Amino acid sequence: MQIRLEPWDDSRKQDLIDLCNGADRTFLTNRLPYPYTEADADWWLGKVHEHDGKDGVFRAVVVDGKAVGNITVEGKSDVYCKDAELGYILATPYWGKGIMTEATAQICALVFETLDLARITAEVYAPNKASQRVLEKNGFVLEGQKRNAVFKNSALWDLYIYGLLKPEENAHD
């Protein structure tokens, strides 16, 4: 199985629409539109075009040639400008094969190489154990917990805050 990150562009629009319409939304914010239309995809691809490589990195997760996931690191502003937020989603038939663990490793390396950041943050709902494992396998540290911060589908959940610091430069370089 080959797992690659590729820039989003118009040629992947239908993959994006299929991914977002088929997504398991249990642990996602409600801001992802449903149904996810071509207009939604156009808006998002425009945003990617504007920000990619400047204050964020946005990639399709391509497995054996097909875009089956999305992974992004979006920069923050003001005093948080050295921080950025990681997010990801994978089509359900591809879960449990190590794909997002590998995609996360690739995007974090790329982000620290290309953007002037000190850290990457990820926020995860307490019951989302798969996402927490993905982060922990990539060296993210659980830094804090906001109690009852998330209200989704009539349930209150804690929000876990994970962080990954930029690797130290080699002291002898």
Ligand X SMILES: CC(C)(COP(=O)(O)OP(=O)(O)OC[C@H]1O[C@@H](n2cnc3c(N)ncnc32)[C@H](O)[C@@H]1OP(=O)(O)O)[C@@H](O)C(=O)NCCC(=O)NCCS
Chain contacts with ligand X (rule: CB under 6 A): 24, 27-28, 88-90, 95-101, 124, 128-131, 133-134
Q: Which is nearer to ligand X, 82 or 97 (CB)?
A: 97
Q: Which is nearer to ligand X, 5 or 130 (CB)?
A: 130
Check residue 32 and report its DSSP letter.
Answer: S
Q: Which is nearer to ligand X, 22 or 53 (CB)?
A: 22
- Which residue is associated with the tokens 């019951």? 127
- Pair type for strands 155-165 and 66-75: unpaired
How distant, in Å, are the alpha carbons of 1, 35, 105, 149 from that of 137?
A: 19, 33, 9, 25
Instruction: Name the minimum Å distance from CB 169 to ligand X.
Output: 28
Instruction: Name the minimum Å distance from CB 88 to ligand X.
Output: 5
Nearest to 128 by CA among 164, 166, 79, 90: 90
Instruction: Name the minimum Å distance from CB 71 to ligand X.
Output: 8
